[in-house]
Amino acid sequence: MDELTARREIVNIGKLLYERSYVVSSDGNISVRLGDGRIVATPTMMCKGRMSEDSLAVTDPNGKPLTDRKPSSELQMHLLIYQERPDVKAVCHAHPPHGTAFAVAGLAIDQPILSEVILTLGCVPLTSYGTPSTNEVTEAMRPFVKHHNALLMANHGAVAYGADVWQAFDRLETLEHTARIAILARILGGSQNLPKDAIEKLINLREASGYLGESARCQACGYLHRTSLVCPTGDRPAATGLAVANGDAKITLTREELVELLTQAVHTQNSGNVL
């Protein structure tokens, strides 16, 4: 994408983010990585609904401004994603209300409830809280960036990325739409998860169709762990958040945590016998 097109599309997407209430005030940021490695990014402290093409910042691949326009301090998050994912050319960060509600409630969007979301987006993990504009945020995100195309940031918002700025926006929109449906389904009594064999078929289909590659099998969500599909790189990040399905809270424990819990239970029972 050339610089003029990138500027035009960033302004268009900024308006959409604002009109759809994915951002308010000067929230959020959008960037595009150009073919020569330079980055066109939204400026600091400006409403995304009221930007003009000449208000955008341009930086080198390390985030150093190349003009007098200063990019958002959250550009570090974009730089991390560009470093970890050579295929990614655009990043979109916002605070969409339903997705952000999951992030505030400490929940990942990781239940297999919608076939098309498994096909096109996969699960969205919750990364732990970090002070905005510090490396706490980027370090929390780092393990997940390779295998996911969208992330929730605890007590903050969401970020999505893709091969171009529209794909990044579409993924953010799918994240928000999924979160909204999940919340509505909870109000109606709870969602029905897709069974394991249906999930496996969808994952095979998405790889055959080129929606998501094999690296997305390494996602953090529990429903992928329960399939018989093997993660090719083996560096699947740990499951995040509380998995809530059919109204029951399921808590994921590591083997060590389970052993510790059982040991404590045995000790408690033994002390009870003595007394």
| CA distances to 64, 75, 77, 133, 200 from 136, in Å | 20, 14, 10, 8, 35
- H-helix segments, the chain: 3-19, 75-84, 97-105, 115-120, 135-145, 165-187, 196-209, 222-225, 255-274
| CA-based torsion, 34, 56, 171, 216: positive or negative | positive
- Nearer CB in complex with Zn ion: 155/193: 155
**Partner residues linked to 157 by β-bridges:** 153
- To Zn ion, the closest distance from the beta carbon of 94 in angstroms equals 7
User: 39: exposed, middle or buried (C-beta count within 10 Å: 0-12, 13-18, 19+)?
Assistant: buried
Distance (Å) of CA 137 to CA 43, 126, 161: 19, 12, 16
Separation CA 115–CA 244 (nearest Å): 18
Nearest residue (CB) to Zn ion, 171 versus 206 = 171
In terms of CB distance, is 114 or 126 closer to Zn ion?
A: 126
What residue ranges bind Zn ion (CB under 5 A)?
A: 157
As given in the structure block, the two tokens for residue 225 are: 């762990």
Structure-block tokens of residue 176: 């928000």
For Zn ion, the closer CB: 129 or 211? 129
Integer Cα distance of 72 and 49 in angstroms: 15
Min dist CB 93 to Zn ion, Å, is 6
Pairing of β 126-127 and β 150-153: parallel
Minimum CB distance to Zn ion, residue 25 (Å): 11
CB of 97 to Zn ion, least distance (A): 13
Query: Shortest distance, CB of residue 95 to Zn ion, whole angstroms?
Result: 6
CB closer to Zn ion out of 29 and 191 = 29
Contacts (Cβ under 8 Å, ≥6 apart) of 236? 147, 217, 218, 219, 220, 225
Question: Considering the complex, what minimum distance in angstroms separates the CB of residue 72 from Zn ion?
Answer: 9
Q: Which is nearer to Zn ion, 144 or 223 (CB)?
A: 144
* Cβ-based nearer residue to Zn ion, 93 or 206: 93
Which one, 70 or 225, has the nearer CB to Zn ion?
70
Instruction: Tell me the residue nearest to Zn ion as measured from the CB.
Output: 157
Query: Minimal distance in Å, beta carbon 132 to Zn ion?
Result: 6
- Do 75 and 39 contact (CB within 8 A), yes or no? yes
| Residue 99 CB, nearest approach to Zn ion (Å) | 12
β partners of residue 92: 30, 160
